Amino acid sequence: MFDISWLQIILANLALLAGACLQGVAGYGIGTLSAPLLFLISPILLPAPLILNATLLTILMLIRNRGSVEIRQVRFAIGGGFIGVLLAGVTLTLISPKGFELMFGALILLGVGLSVVGLKPRLNARNSMIAGAASTYMGTITAVGGPPIALIYQNEKGPLVRANMSAFFLVASVFSLMTLALSGYLGRSQAALFIATFPGVLTGFWLSGKLVNRLPFDGLRPVILGIAGVAGLAALIRGLIYL
């Protein structure tokens, strides 16, 4: 088993609670918020334990928002996700643990950049495939796959966003977990970390149901991106120091 303290487990549950609550309200966010915090708590909490938790959350969200799913829209993103996960699998087989930290940091900062540049691509088949590939590639390696797919849904209504993004994230998470297992990044230790931290996700999801029409997501956005940026920079520095 990994060397991790009870304090770190408690902090990880709190980080997942915050991320799950955010995603329950906005449609995405568990990766963008929780992954940087988990990395700062302990890098061993990424990516597999977080993706397992994200899979649980997307199942719960899909059940809650099932009436708003538009399968015809999300299928193109899923197709792109298949391409993205293949590229992620190749990447994971080639990089070292320290190379993983460099990749994690770079992709986190890329995700932050995508969230702040103000791009507003249309929701169409081509853009959905591109966003799906980028989201699944980033999500498999870092557990932060939200920013690319969120760009094409930023002008859509809340229920559609939460439903369609949950459907996409569920399939993408399954792709990612299969790739991580084949690459040696998912085993008993990662499953044990998931078991120790999923209560945070359940609590956050429950809380999101109380706050879905009250939480000012736009006001929290700079804080979330700031946390992600700091963690991404920290990962880059760690990777460069120990390279």
Residues, the chain:
243
Name which residue leads in pLDDT, 237 or 75: 75
Q: Indicate the pTM of the whole model.
A: 0.84
Which phi and psi (to 5°) does residue 219 adopt? -70, -30
Cis peptide before 47 (omega within 30 of 0): yes
Domain-embedded: residue 213: yes
> How many domains does the structure of the chain reveal?
1
Mean pLDDT computed over 1-8: 83
Name which residue leads in pLDDT, 105 or 17: 17
Tally of helices (H runs) and strands (E runs) in the chain: 10, 0
Residue 223 structure tokens:
């804080």
Mean pLDDT computed over 137-165: 81
Q: In this predicted structure, what is the pLDDT of residue 199? A: 98
Domain-embedded: residue 144: yes
**Burial state string for 40-51 with b = 16 or more CB within 10 A and e = fewer than 16:** bbbebbbbbbbb
Task: Name the band, by pLDDT with cuts 50, 70 and 90, for residue 4.
Answer: very high
Task: Tokens 């643990």: give the residue.
Answer: 97
Residue 53 structure tokens:
């938790």
Q: In this predicted structure, what is the pLDDT of residue 174? A: 93
Domain span holding position 10: 6-241
Domain-embedded: residue 1: no
Q: In this predicted structure, what is the pLDDT of residue 16? A: 97
Mean pLDDT computed over 57-61: 94
